[in-house]
Amino acid sequence: MKRREALVVAFQNVAEFWNVVTRPTDKNGLGFTTEEAFFELTKMERFFRILCESATSYEAWKTLLKANRVVGVQAHDTRLVAVMKSYGVFRIVTFNVNDFARFTNIEVLHPDRIAAAGSLEPDTA
């Protein structure tokens, strides 16, 4: 039996979405107008629950930074994991599977794995 999963996205990802879609095409963006971007953002809000940061996620972030000896750009992925932990989310779907390998107690799934399996069920083989 397949279970249904709630789909969530962190506010950080929403901000990154806005950055990419409104950035000019000659700067590796999609060149959306603010009106077009806002329309897409509104659609996204109907599909995903947006997880915002809190004092709890900030404290979790600091703990993860130290425990995992995080440096540089890795702080952004650590921030996502901190938000996940503060909301009790333990599964992430990402193209950047290796970027999250350092974190324990979360399951990291590549989108191809979900498409092949037809669900978010963990592998049992």
**Cβ-proximal residues to 96 (8 Å cutoff; 6+ apart), any chain:** 77
The pLDDT score that the predictor gives to residue 26 is 97
More confident residue, 119 or 100: 100
Return d(Cα 109, Cα 113) in angstroms, integer. Answer: 7
CA 65 to mean position of chain CA atoms: 17
> For residue 37, what are its two tokens?
């971007």
Q: What is the mean pLDDT of residues 90-98?
A: 93
**Cβ-proximal residues to 79 (8 Å cutoff; 6+ apart), any chain:** 10, 12, 53, 57, 61
Return d(Cα 83, Cα 89) in angstroms, integer. Answer: 8
In terms of Cβ atoms closer than 10 Å to its own Cβ (0-12, 13-18, 19+), residue 108 is: middle
On whether the pTM is more than 0.85, the answer is no
